[in-house]
Structures are given as C-alpha cells and as structure tokens.
Amino acid sequence: MLSFSWKITYFIFIAGAFALLSFAALNYQSLNSAVYAILYMLLAFLLLFGMVVARHTARPLEKIIQAANDLADGNVKSRAYVKNNDELGQLAKSLNKIAEKLEKTHQEKEKIQHSVAMKVSSLVGPLHDTIQALEEKAKNRTADFHKANEISEKMQIDLLLREAELVDVKGQLATLMKRKSRKIIREEV
C-alpha cells in the first residue's frame, strides 16, 4: 500500500504527464529530439516537484494524525508540532487546543478525585478507628468468655467430683448407720 506522500506524488506526476503528453500529441509532427529531451526533463521535474509537494503536505498531516491517535488512546499530553501557517497548521493548532483543554479537564478530574478521596478518608477515618476499637472489645470479650467458659467447665467438673464424694460419704454414712443400728439392736437383744 502506498503511503500518503507517494499517492500525492503519483497524482501530481500523472496530471503533469498527461498535460505534457497532450501538448506533445498536438504537435507530434513537429517534435525533434531537443523537445523530447525537454519533455523528459519536465517529467523528471514533475516527479521531483510531486515528491516535494507531497512531503510538504504529508509530513504535517502525519504529525497531526499521530497526535490525534495518541489523544484517542488517552495521551492528553500529545501535541502536533507543525510550523506551517496554512490549513494544516491551523488544524494542528486546533488539535493542540483540544489537547490542552483535555489535559486541563483531566488534571481537574484528578484534583477532584484526590479531594473526594481526602474527604472520604477524613469521614471514614473516625469510623475506622471506632471499628478497630469495637473489634478489640469483641476480641477481649471473646477471650473473657472463653476464660469464663473454662472456669465454668472446671467448676462443673469440680462439682461433679464433689457430688461423687458426697454420694460416697452418704454411702459410707449409710453403712455406718446400718452397723450402728445393728450394734444397737444386738445390744438390746
């Protein structure tokens, strides 16, 4: 695929060649070798002229296209530096103004986001501290609950052991009572 500058060169050369060959065709009978040499030089000049005009037109246009593509990709610092004072220069200046406005808007957006983040942080900061204090209290209460639960379990075990001892003492007391009552009965008899 031809680049833009070669497309312009091609059209300038074809148009000039057509004009020269049309002129030569009108006077074909009276042409001599000097005229042919001049025609060849004019064709070479047309080719060089087309290349110069194409480069002069294409380079600024390529810069403008690159800057526009960069802006479209989100690079708000992109600029088209074109020195021409023609329509391409005006287009580049307009594109640069758009880029400047986009950059200012982007900077203002970042400032607003930073400001909002700071405000949210200042509002959420005390809540965060409160949440941390509540979490610490919950940890302490949970630890206290576990300690109380352990003490309760130990007391239940201790109570069960005491009940077992009590049952054993009751059994021994009952046995002693039986013996004593038998002894009393024997003594009476």
> pLDDT, tens digit, for every residue of 73-127?
988 888 888 887 888 888 889 999 999 999 999 999 999 999 999 988 888 888 8
Distance, CA of 177 to chain centre: 91
| DSSP code at position 86 | S
Contact 44, 71 (CB under 8 A): no
User: What is the identity of the amino acid at 153?
Assistant: E
> Residue 26: what pLDDT?
67
Structure tokens at 61: 């246009």
Dig out the tokens for 28 from the structure: 């074909």
The one-letter amino acid code at 90 reads Q
The pLDDT, as a whole number, for residue 113 is 94
pLDDT of residue 1 exceeding 50: no
Q: Alpha-carbon distance 100 to 102, whole Å? A: 5
3-state secondary structure of 134: helix
Structure tokens given for 138: 């919950």
Q: What does the block give as tokens for 178?
A: 């039986």
Q: Report pLDDT digits (tens) over 45-61.
A: 888 888 888 777 788 88
Summarised one tens digit per residue, pLDDT across range 6-21 is 777 777 778 887 777 7
pLDDT in tens, 141-160: 999 999 999 999 999 999 99
Helix axes 33-72, 4-26, angle to 10 degrees: 160
